[in-house]
Chains A and B, each alone.
Chain A
Amino acid sequence: MATAKSNVAARIMISPAVLLLLAWMLIPLSMTLYFSFLSYNLLSPGMERWIGFLNYEYFLTDPAFFSALTNTLILVLGVLIVTTIGGTLLALLLDQPIWGQGIVRILVIAPFFVMPTVSALVWKNMFMNPVNGLFAYVAKSVGLPPFDFLAQAPMLSITGMVAWQWLPFATLILLTALQSLDREQLEAAEMDGAGPFSRFFHIILPHMARAITVVILIQTIFLLSTFAAILVTTNGGPGYASTNITYLVYSQSLLQFDVGGGSAGGVVAVIIANIVAIFLMRMIGKNLEA
């Protein structure tokens, strides 16, 4: 039974978190929204003026926006395909009885704990470099010409690096889901003569469907904001070949000092992320009730 006193205490104790988060969200977000309607460049202070939707018009009709949108899609979809399929296979593999399971698990999960800048620079220099990289060495030893990954296929190369970082996350979550599967059901199906494929598609996959959806939604939200991997490898180039929306907004606001245009881009990024977030929140909400 909650007493009146503890009720008051409960309210007081929750307020700092709520108020701080509210301020953290509302103040900058409304500033972004306000700036997005201004002509506002940091190089010409004091010249700010209201220009309505012009920033949005420029941002959305800029060819750079189109390539950024495409690149964002390539990155998100590419990583999702690799991590969900790879993660499912890895989860199935790690769920088998094997010797040294704990160690293999650590090896597989390790990339998630590598900071993004380290991961990107190691891949860029020690593996993908067309002269000194390990891939170039392998190509040479089988008689192929070396391939300059980040110059010739920047977006795919970055997708590969980011997928390597997120594969452990998908694996870990899918493994957790897999381990909650009722073993008796599987054994019963096996008794009834269901082969491994039929067991996978009729029992395992439906059981994991929810976890796969969660992996997709959460990764999408984080992947939309991929930044470090692009900054330290290609700086968004060559041209706009590896610029995603996050990087485009960064370069517009902090490299070109165009606060108005960058803010409009920021608002667009928020809208895109929100579309995904709505679906994710629904799933979380359902689980909170259960």
Chain B
Amino acid sequence: MARAVNNKRRAVVTLIAWAVGIAIFFPILYTVLTSFKTEAEAVASPPSFLFFDWTLENYAEVQERSNYFLHFLNSVVISLGSTVLGLIIAVPAAWSMAFFPKKRTKDILMWMLSTKMLPPVGVLVPIYLLFRDASLLDTRTGLVIVLTMINLPIIVWMIFTYFKEIPGEILEAARMDGANLWDEVVYVLTPMAIPGIASTLLLNIILAWNEAFWTLNLTAAKAAPLTAFIASYSSPEGLFYAKLSAASTMAIAPILILGWFSQKQLVRGLTFGAVK
């Protein structure tokens, strides 16, 4: 009897949960659907949800009119570049803090995290002027530098917590067996740290891909990633909903897929360990 009641309750809760989930997801779903409509159909009243003539012309047109691929490539280069560069700087630092903690290690870590809390607008003017003088405005290099620095605290923090989970005894055992520092890093630490590093990589690509303060302020056309390119649709001419949807769908699809894999890292990376 209890089983039947439980199943009934479960069915009701399932129904509610699915309804809520679909409602929250609906704007994304609707964008994807609209990307396959003609412009006339995209603004038709009543709106159609499934029964319209599906077309791919928007995707072709977005590419033709605005060189979409260039902006997509910019996003890839900037998010991957800044994440890899960040990892190169962060891994040694995190290694040092996790395995050779000093009296001030905790303070250094806290200070690093606190820089992430600085509002970007507090340094907008100087960064803009420095970049202008160094000819870094509207360049991929410039954005890679900025995003590396922006996300470095999160990268250091995440790698540090993953390193902390590696038991110290393993390192000591390796040292007992005569492993030197190099062997220790290459043969013991790295293999154990790879899952953590991969998760960090994933989360930071997502954060860099979606970053929309510096990318909007420091790029114009040449180096504009998708965030800035999509923003150009805010002052459109004529009918554009279907094209906006196509451009948007392509911009968010890769990250939605990556995001699916990174739910857990999201909590770890963005709460700085304050929630476990």
Which A residues are closer than 8 A to B by beta carbons? Answer: 1-2, 5-7, 9-11, 13-14, 16-18, 20-21, 24-25, 27-29, 31-32, 35, 90, 93-94, 96-101, 103-119, 121-127, 132, 134, 137, 140-141, 164, 167-169, 172-173, 176-177, 180, 210-211, 214, 218, 221, 224-225, 227-228, 231-233, 245-246, 249-250, 253-254, 259, 262-263, 265-267, 269-270, 272-274, 276-277, 280-281, 283-285, 287-289
Contact (Cβ within 8 A) B126 A176: no
B16 touches A93 (CB 8 A): yes
Q: A2-B100, A100-B18, A287-B273 are in contact. Are A14 and B122 (CB under 8 A)?
A: no
Contact A111 B24 (CB under 8 A): yes
* A103 CB contacts on chain B under 8 angstroms: 21
Q: B51 within 8 Å of A by Cβ?
A: no
Knowing A107-B21, A109-B263, A284-B274 touch, does A16 contact B92 (C-beta < 8 A)?
yes
B108 contacts chain A at the CB level, 8 A cutoff: yes
Nearest chain B residue, comparing its CB with the CB of A136:
B45
Contact B118 A254 (CB under 8 A): no
Known: A110-B25, A127-B27, A172-B266. A231 touches B89 (CB 8 A): no
Task: Tell me if B21 and A250 are in contact (CB < 8 A).
Answer: no
Decide yes or no whether B28 CB sits under 8 A from chain A.
Answer: yes
Nearest 5 CB-CB pairings of A with B: A13-B92, A17-B93, A31-B126, A113-B259, A10-B100
Q: Which residues of A contact B172 (CB under 8 A)?
A: 1
Whether B8 is near chain A, meaning CB under 8 Å from some CB there, is no
Give complex CA distance A123, B275 in Å. 31
A222 shortest CB reach to chain B, Å: 9
B52-60, B61-69, B188-196, B223-231 - the one binding chain A: B223-231
Task: State whether B256 touches A266 (Cβ < 8 A).
Answer: no
Q: Assess the A13–B127 pair: CB atoms within 8 A.
A: no
Q: How far is the CA of A78 from the CA of B110 in the complex (A)?
A: 29
Besides A6-B100, A13-B95, 19 other A-B contacts (C-beta < 8 A): A2-B100, A9-B96, A10-B100, A14-B93, A17-B90, A17-B152, A24-B149, A32-B122, A112-B266, A115-B226, A115-B252, A116-B212, A117-B216, A176-B276, A214-B274, A231-B234, A273-B122, A276-B117, A281-B113
0/1 interface trace, chain B 208-236, chain A, CB 8 Å (1 if under)? 01101100110000000011101101100
Q: Which residues of B contact A211 (CB under 8 A)?
A: 275
Size band of the interface chain B makes with A:
35 or more
Whether A262 contacts B125 in the complex (CB less than 8 A), given A20-B89, A115-B226, A273-B119, comes out as yes
Query: B248–A118 contact, CB under 8 A?
Result: yes
CB atoms of A125 and B241 under 8 A apart? yes
Query: How far does the alpha carbon of A122 sit from the alpha carbon of B153 in the complex, in Å?
Result: 32
Judged by a CB distance under 8 angstroms, whether B46 is at the interface is yes
Q: Are the C-beta atoms of B252 and A32 separated by less than 8 Å? A: no
Residue numbers in B under 8 Å from A259 (CB-CB): 125, 129
CA of A224 to CA of B122 in the docked complex: distance in angstroms? Answer: 12
Expressed in whole angstroms, the minimum distance between the Cβ of A76 and any Cβ of chain B is 12
On chain A, the residues within 8 Å of B248 by CB distance are 118, 121-122
- Judged by DSSP, the binding face of A is helix
Q: Could you tell me if A98 and B43 are in contact, using CB atoms closer than 8 angstroms?
A: no
Known: A117-B230, A118-B251. A273 touches B27 (CB 8 A): no
> Residue B198 at the A interface, CB < 8 A?
no
Residues in A with CB closer than 8 Å to B226 are 115
List chain B residues, Cβ under 8 A from A287: 273-274, 276
Shortest beta-carbon distance from A92 to chain B in Å? 10
> Closest A-chain residue to B23, C-beta based?
A107
Q: How far apart sit A276 and B119, CA to CA, in the bound complex (Å)?
A: 11
B124 contacts A by Cβ under 8 Å: yes
Chain B hits for A13, CB < 8 A:
92-93, 95-96
A/B interface sample: 25 pairs, CB < 8 A: A1-B172, A2-B100, A7-B100, A10-B96, A21-B152, A25-B115, A93-B13, A98-B13, A103-B21, A108-B25, A109-B259, A119-B27, A121-B233, A125-B244, A225-B121, A228-B212, A232-B231, A250-B121, A253-B125, A254-B217, A265-B121, A266-B121, A273-B122, A281-B110, A284-B273
